[in-house]
Amino acid sequence: MLNSGLTTETWGNISARDAESGLIYLTPSGMRYDMINEDDVIVTDENGTVVEGTRKPTIEKDLHLGIYKHRKDINAIIHTHPIYSRVFAALREDIPPVIDEAVQVMGGTVRCARYGLPGSVELSNNCVDALKDAGFACLLANHGAVCIGRDMSMAFKVSTVLEMTARIYLLARSIGKPVLFNEKETAFIHD
């Protein structure tokens, strides 16, 4: 995540859910990613009760738990602070599917969630609402991006494709009006 330019320093967070046990593994709060080791990871149950680990879990613990509660198909979440996606988060604008990869990986428009303070239940609820039942990415207003997947590989792929799409959309808007896919094209490409 760091080497891909998706975040800097300690911003953002990552989690994974063990599909068999239901346990959730979270990155610790305020710790640099290049310094985290296995002992620093916090393990919680689905209600957020810590069952293993001594560090404080990420401030966005409720955001992760809320997504897992509403999306049983998801086992990995990556919350990033990438530059181009954050441009649209700062504008509180959605990112439409302007390139094939965006439609294939994310399925359609990436919605911008309503604003909620970092670490708040409101932010978690707004994020879950923006993801709806089938989305794989959303923007957090004035904050960052949340990308999800059936596994960590998929969540990371969504993260990189979202940032690429945001960059292309921004550049296209700077010189003209991007042409968006219609519903039929979107359905075909996503399928």
Which residues are catalytically annotated? 60
CA angle 88, 71, 7 (to 5 degrees): 35
Q: Assign residue 132 a region: left if phi > 0, alpha if psi is -120 to 50, beta otherwise?
A: left
Cα–Cα distance between 130 and 140 in angstroms, integer? 9
Cα–Cα distance between 175 and 158 in angstroms, integer? 26
Sign of the alpha-carbon dihedral angle for 74, 79, 82, 88: positive
Q: Report the residue count for the chain.
A: 191
Cα–Cα distance between 98 and 19 in angstroms, integer? 33
What beta strand segments (E) does 53-169 contain? 76-80, 111-113, 137-140, 144-149
